[in-house]
Amino acid sequence: MNPASDDTALREAEIVDEFSIFDDPMDRYAYLIDVGKKLPVLPVALQRDEFLVPGCQSKVWLLSEQKEGRVWFQADSNTAITRGIIALLLRVLSGQSAAVIRSAELGFLDAIALRSHLSSQRANGLASMIARIKAMAVSAGLDEQAGQAERAGQTVQAGLSDQFTHDTPAAESTVQPPASSGPSPEDQIQPANQTPKQV
């Protein structure tokens, strides 16, 4: 994999630096809420049950889109803290390749002591969000592989069709009977009433 396509470590480091200035857990919560306020609001038309993340205490809507080999996410929540959590996850994972998302360890969550300060229900919700994001990445990766296989099949088929066109022999020419090089059998037969020539 091209290292330039995976900048999750850099993104995580930036988040850790931002939270490192807060010693009080309540200050970290306040900053987390501020992070969530910067998350673009999901249109109401997309806040449907089919996009809800199962296993979350709060409502969390999550959508994904695959484009140019990367997976992009949109998300929203009806609670401020959960909105901040999903905003951090998308900040690190959105726009990465499916393989990078699937293998991401997300160590920044422990580095900023987020897991340890969440209630058990919110911790379960965090695990559900991560699992859902990775499952979407797996699906996107399978779709990409299927698309590549389809395009490869089309290329092979086009190549075979082109080869068949070039290898097809031209229409055979009409075979003409060979020209006669001597008298026909009829010419060699003498009439019955004709006197044979003397040798």
Q: Is 70 exposed, middle or buried (0-12, 13-18, 19+ CB in 10 A)?
A: middle
Q: Are 44 and 117 in contact (CB under 8 A)?
A: no
Distance, CA of 55 to chain centre: 26
8 A C-beta contact, residue 76 and residue 42:
yes
- Rounded CA gap, 80 and 37, in Å? 8
Of the residues 15, 53, 56, 93, which is catalytic? 56
How far is Cα 95 from Cα 68, in angstroms, rounded to an integer? 10
CA distance 138 to 143: 9
Given CA atoms 78, 80, 84, 85 in this order, what sign does their dihedral have? Answer: negative
d(CA 181, CA 178): 9
Question: What are the CA-CA distances from residue 127 to residues 80, 94, 173, 182 (Å)?
Answer: 18, 17, 76, 100
Q: How do the domains of the chain map onto residue ranges?
A: 3-146
Known catalytic membership, residue 62: no
Q: What's the CATH architecture for 3-146?
A: Alpha-Beta Complex (3.90)
> Which residues touch 69 (CB under 8 Å, ≥6 apart)?
97, 144
Q: Can you give the pLDDT of all 199 residues of the chain as single tens digits? A: 443 347 999 999 999 999 999 999 999 999 999 999 999 999 999 999 999 999 999 999 999 999 989 999 999 999 999 999 999 999 999 999 999 999 999 999 999 999 888 999 999 999 999 999 999 999 987 765 555 556 555 555 655 556 555 555 554 444 454 454 555 444 443 444 444 444 3
Residue 193's pLDDT is 46
What's the confidence (pLDDT) of residue 184? 46
The pTM of this model reads 0.71
